[in-house]
Amino acid sequence: MKDRGESPHASDERVRLDRRDFLKFGSLAAVSLVSGSAKADAVATDEDRATYSTVLPYERRIVAPGNQPAVETPNGSTLKLTKVGGVKVGHLIAEEVDHEFARGLRAKCWGYNGSTPGPTIECIEGDRLRIYVENRLPAPTTVHFHGVILPNGMDGVSGLNQPPIPVGGTFVYEFTVRHPGTYMYHPHYDEMTQIALGMQGMLIVHPRRPRGPRVDRDFALMTHEFAIQVGASRPDPNEMTDFNVLTFNSKIYPATAPLLVGLGERVRIRFGNLSPMDHHPIHIHGVSFKTTATDGGYIPPSAQQPDTTVLIPTGSTRVIEFVPEEEGDWAMHCHMTHHVMTQMGHGIPNMVGARFARVNRRMRRVDPGYMTMGTEGMGGMGAMDMAIPENSLPMRGGPGPYGYIDMGGMFSVVKVRKNPDTADPNGDYEQPPGTQAGPADPGQALRDGILLKA
């Protein structure tokens, strides 16, 4: 007799759970098959949530003419510049970095001044910069200031514009920033390795004469992708297609710091993308924005168009501005859906729709709590207390106020508040009564002409 839980196509191909099949299914660890003893505690406590990411209030500073506020680099820092004889002097140290992407996932990366991305360099149009670059890496390197118009010998392409900075050596780059804009910096020696390991940063040049409406908040976010095999201690710089750790400022959700902004404030976000291979369509919920600049310069107002998603091509920057009209906690994420997953394997069979009643019964003879996962999709799997390899975060998201948020990777939150300067950046938005989706009232639905299935 055919088992009622079998696939209708299984009459000639019955499931045989021999040793080979068991090993095949077992290789889907933490992806398709898990024990039913795994618990899903969808709503975490405040203590649980605090362990993921604690964000300190941001102190706004005026740094440029026209009351232009300083750029905030969430989860990052700004390079200290000291004025010496009319020149702004800074020190970049290229070095190995023990980097935490989120609690539970660390890797030996390469970066600047102890971090990836390196500190944001912030200056004003017309400034003369003198940047000392000290090489503490095990390999030569250079620095290229991406998009900046400067003397040819300062462009940083090894072999073309300069010899590489030797191991233990220090080179100095000096130039005047003549054009305001949003730029990046990165090596131009063994780019495939050094950029893939996290060597990148942003260079912001404020205009001496402000352009357009003054902004109240100004943020810098580097999008980047790493290839880190489950349990590995270093990113793989040889990967060309399968990037499984997608980041904002080299952090993955829930360790990405939220962007706290004010209702009615003008907000600017500067995105940079030095991912080895992929572009990133960044979508922000709850707002409509305009792209006001690229790394090539400002976009005339007549050419700006409203959007809710901005495409950041690899090797490019994009600057957007918006004024939020609604309070709340609004998602911001890459809209390539696998870019909001972390270390998700894809060399597995498609489990959706498969019927595993017989397999479940047989496996429960060995493990009474056994269950098959993945037959109805992957939603909620990150919340399950499953055993995973050390130093890995497969398919992990983070706890939210109403349940588990099963997006991770290149995901963050824009928190819009009436009083952002006094608001708790770690706090959740509480929707006013009557403004949150919830279970439908069958009686009201019927009065509206909607017949619900019992």
Residue-level pLDDT, tens digit, the chain, 454 residues: 333 333 333 333 333 333 333 333 333 333 334 434 333 333 334 444 444 444 555 567 888 888 899 999 999 999 999 999 999 999 999 999 999 998 888 999 999 999 999 999 999 999 999 999 999 999 999 999 999 999 999 999 999 999 999 999 999 999 999 999 999 999 999 999 999 999 999 999 999 998 889 999 999 999 999 988 878 889 888 888 777 899 999 999 889 999 999 999 999 999 999 998 889 999 999 999 999 999 999 999 999 999 999 999 999 999 999 999 999 999 999 887 665 566 565 566 666 667 777 777 887 888 877 766 666 555 555 555 556 667 656 665 667 788 767 677 788 899 999 999 999 988 999 999 999 988 888 999 999 999 888 6
d(CA 382, CA 136): 38
The domain of 370 spans: 12-41+344-387
pLDDT given at position 58: 58
The H or E element that residue 289 is part of is strand 289-294
Query: Is residue 109 domain-shared with residue 185, that is, in the same domain?
Result: yes
Whether residue 432 lies inside any domain: the answer is: no
Q: Is the peptide bond before 349 cis (omega within 30 degrees of 0)?
A: no
Query: Is residue 260 domain-shared with residue 375, that is, in the same domain?
Result: no
Whether residue 95 lies inside any domain: the answer is: yes
Residues in the chain: 454
- Give φ, ψ of 261 to 5 degrees: -135, 165
d(CA 125, CA 145): 15
Query: Is residue 373 domain-shared with residue 242, that is, in the same domain?
Result: no
Query: Is residue 35 domain-shared with residue 99, that is, in the same domain?
Result: no
Report the SS3 class of residue 383.
helix
Whether residue 332 lies inside any domain: the answer is: yes
pLDDT tens profile 375-419: 655 555 555 555 666 765 666 566 778 876 767 778 889 999 999
Q: What is the dihedral of CA 8, 13, 15, 20, to 10 degrees?
A: -150
Instruction: Give the CA distances from residue 439 to residues 404, 406, 442, 444, 445, in Å, rounded to whole numbers and listed in that order.
Output: 18, 21, 9, 11, 11
Confirm whether pTM is higher than 0.85: no
pLDDT given at position 13: 34
Cβ neighbours of residue 301 closer than 8 Å, sequence gap 6 or more: 212
Number of domains in the chain: 2
pLDDT given at position 309: 97
Cβ neighbours of residue 431 closer than 8 Å, sequence gap 6 or more: 328
pLDDT given at position 37: 38
pLDDT given at position 431: 92
- Whose structure tokens read 């957007």? 320
Query: Is residue 147 domain-shared with residue 180, that is, in the same domain?
Result: yes
pLDDT given at position 353: 66
Where are the strands (E) in 139-264, listed by range? Answer: 144-146, 170-176, 181-186, 201-206, 217-226, 245-248, 259-262
Domain boundary, last residue among 330, 356, 387: 387
pLDDT tens profile 74-117: 999 999 999 999 999 999 999 999 999 988 889 999 999 999 99
Whether residue 178 lies inside any domain: the answer is: yes
Query: Is residue 18 domain-shared with residue 75, that is, in the same domain?
Result: no
